[in-house]
Structure 1
Amino acid sequence: MDTSRPTRQKRTQRDYTMGFKLQVVAAVEKGDMTYKQAQRIYGIQGRSTVLNWLRKHGKLDWSQSKGRTMPHSPKAKETPAQKIKRLERELEDERL
């Protein structure tokens, strides 16, 4: 009895030239395509490969974190009555 299964082709890691990487990064940053479209068009296997190239070789600033939080300030914890009093004081200061 033959229990042969279809053999799966093993995925291999590909090495891309620096010129190719820069070409993809330039196309994405110019707005010609999204990083996912570039991945599909150029046949890039890894999900985050193009994103990594954008971070390493792109001209955009990726140093900021994804989540932006509001700065902690005492104004955020004010009650409505306290806010009214503060604004009235600020208005009075402006009038002077």
Structure 2
Amino acid sequence: MAIDAIMLNSADNVATAVQILKAGQKADVRLGHDIRQILIGEDIPYGHKFAVHSIPKGQEIMKYGEVIGRATQEIREGHHAHTQNIESLRGRGDLQGEA
């Protein structure tokens, strides 16, 4: 079965598109041997992330089981999760000592 996106850890709240996804499409998202469908709410470029459930403003963004950022606004399920709505928490000298 072909997949449209992948998640690598059950703690992840975003998936990565492995092909271009179009708004209105039902994407097959793989986590291990499990496949779930997510309705895509807006076009998602290849290699970009999207929310697998609604993420409230301020919540940590999890990818590969690791915190990669924080939502700067609500990110609805199936919507693009990128620089327009995620604040990076990696490589920032002003956050030393913070998780």
Fold shared, TM-score > 0.5 on shorter chain: no
- The structure that is helix-richer by fraction is 1
Instruction: State the structure with more CA Rg.
Output: 1
Instruction: Report the TM-score, using the length of structure 2 for normalisation.
Output: 0.20
Instruction: Report the TM-score, using the length of structure 1 for normalisation.
Output: 0.21
